[in-house]
Structure 1
Amino acid sequence: MSIDTLNVYFLLFAAIMLFFNLQVFWEAVNSVIQVLVAILLLAVFFNLLSEYSLELVISNGGQFFFIVSFLSCLIPHARHKVILHDVRSQILIEKSNEQLKEQNRDINEKNNIIDMQYEQLRKLDEQKNSFINIAGHDLKNLIGSVVMSNNMIKEEEYRLSNDQKEFVGYISESAEKMQYMLNKLMDVKEISSPEMKFNVELFDANAEVQYVFKGLVETAHMKNIHLVDNILKLPLNVKLDRVFVGQVFQNLLSNAIKFSQTNNNIKVVTSLQRQKFVFEIIDEGLAIGQDELDMMFNKLKTLNDVSDSKESRLGLGLSIAKLMTQEMGGTLTYRSDENGNYFRVEFYVIN
């Protein structure tokens, strides 16, 4: 081969290597090995078969071969990086898709569980409404019997003593209140509504406390508990649901009597403070306990009485009293410490 044709030979050889590296998909190290092998074979070939020295060969076109060979090594390297990045991205996408599918399966399973629980709750709600309707109708019949019997006694009123007449009046009024509350309970729309509806009227709160006080005197006397009357004798008018307000006072005082020990005094106090009617029950006997009161006022709780009788009951009365007080815009507070038990209800008065 003449020295003049070396440039053409090297350019052709470099073009072949470049074309090859453009076609293959391998790592850059393979291209480097390929170039090194080509250079090695080229050096051996020229040393054995050519009369020209290697330096002369390199200076007459060999530099083009080395430059193109170096560039051909970079092409597979760049392509390999791009392909590797694409493959890793695809793997991540497939893993993400699998995770999403797994999460979707979990969500579907949880949705199925929620649907089953919702169906169970719906059936329980239907059973509750059915039970309320049945129990309500039965209670209506019982209250009707009480009212009818009480009316028959009223017809013989001339034979009754003053105390008996007072008790007959108390039974009549209590039956009317029970009938009113039962009608509220029977109204399924009101049960399902977010807000309780009240029959608001203007009345004397002190008179209502006095009525509740008189009705529980005998109950307290049976436990040898003395109720102290510190109820204001002047009227303090409030505009609320009279039946539910009376029920709040009834629940608080009856529970105070129930959980108080025998031979004890319970003060019932009413007052006017900062344009608010204040109803207080002060029991200076053995404390029920603040934690126990918290549970009684906030959820269903069975408590043992602190007296020797060890009687128990559901703490529904106090939680209902708290709920009704809040629904009517009032506040109910309580405490139990070394000084005894204290209950306080506040409602705004009407001038």
Structure 2
Amino acid sequence: MVNDLKFSFVNIDQESLSMEMKAKAKYYANVIHWTLIYALPLFWLLDYSFLSADWLWLFAIRICIVFLSHCFYIYGGLAKNNWGTEMTLSIIVGLNTFFYASICSIASVSSILPYFLLFSIFFVLLNITVFWKPFYSILQCLIAYGVLIVFYKLFNKYDGYDVLIANGGGIFFVLSAFSCLIGFNRYQIAKKEILKNLIIEVASNRVIEQNEKINDQQNEIKEVNRKLNKLSEYRYSALNMILHDFRNFTGSIQMSLDLLKETNENFTAEQTEILGYIGVGNEKLKYLSEKMANSAESESSQIDYNYTDIDFGKAVEQVTMDMSDAATMKQIKLQLNIDPSSTIVYLDKIFLDQVLVKLMSNVVRYSASNTIVSIHLHKVDNKAVLDIANKGKILGSKKLEQLFNGLDELSQSHGVATQTTLGFSVAKTLAEQMGGKLTYNSDESTGNFYRLEFNLSK
């Protein structure tokens, strides 16, 4: 089974998405509204140049349209949120569309070309700027087409529509229809950007929460460790005191036995036998005290593993899911392919998770952005094999050698290293201690390749 773990947007909170889209729509609606107001002198100049006989009437009508538009702006959905943003903007743009279409259909044929060109530019710029559903762009086009067809038929009874098409109408019909496609594409692209920003925000919040939990756990571990150190110091001191007194006691018994043995000629056979028993018992006590002292002073470096049967596939899938947020933030696509058959291994659950987490986290850390990390779990010769490959930026064999042998170099140099530089090395060491094998390779043919192997238990 193949799981594409570059998450889709189905997990996004719909309320957050709606709020972000409304905020974006409101912002661009404000831009369009104020642009239409500040562009008013340009329209006056156009009226004065091409319709000089009627420019005063047109001036007054434009002032009325601006006043009505601003009333809708104040009491509608842009300033006070009484109506929907798209509805309010549709009314404001609809007033301007109705007016421009009326001029293009009523004005004389010799004067309509510049108005058609300006009307076409208006539609193109509107759909480049606006953020609303494509339905509203189509609605504005239908309003313009309807007004043009009806008014031209009423006020130009002797001219056919071919005159309208030849004097700029054809350009307007083509550009306005094409601008609807621009509006559709802009809406989809902007929505995609909003979704992308939301998923990055969600992933970032999850990472922050996880870091807070980790910090809290680290503080708890430090506090418990401090208490354990104090308890260990107390136990060690108390044990040393007891052993010291115990050794003195056995030493004094031995001295007494030696003195008695020097004067044993007056002892009966039974008394001599009892002294022998006491001597043997004292020797055993000395032996036990030495063993206890050696046990108290020795420190074991071996890890006590708690082996149990584990479904390796489920462990790999869970770790991959946990790493999806970090991969998403780096725009890395995780592709998981797990053998559907059973992959049961006999390992320590806690340390297996640690191996997988350190391996996966460092694979993502050292992978380039906008690349694919493929994760393939399968079986080969009674072994569970996990292959991880990334064909992004090549790390090189020398770099991988340094990363996977960091613990050995650290122990030889007695230096200090961070968790980032030791992740691969710790994963390799733990895997080998549990009977597994972690290999790696980096070249142009395979990319950055990692293989983790464990023996199957079933």
More helix by share: 2
Structure 1 length-normalised TM: 0.49
Q: Does 1 or 2 have the higher relative contact order (CA < 8 Å, sep 6+)?
A: 2
Larger Rg: 1
Structure 2 length-normalised TM: 0.38
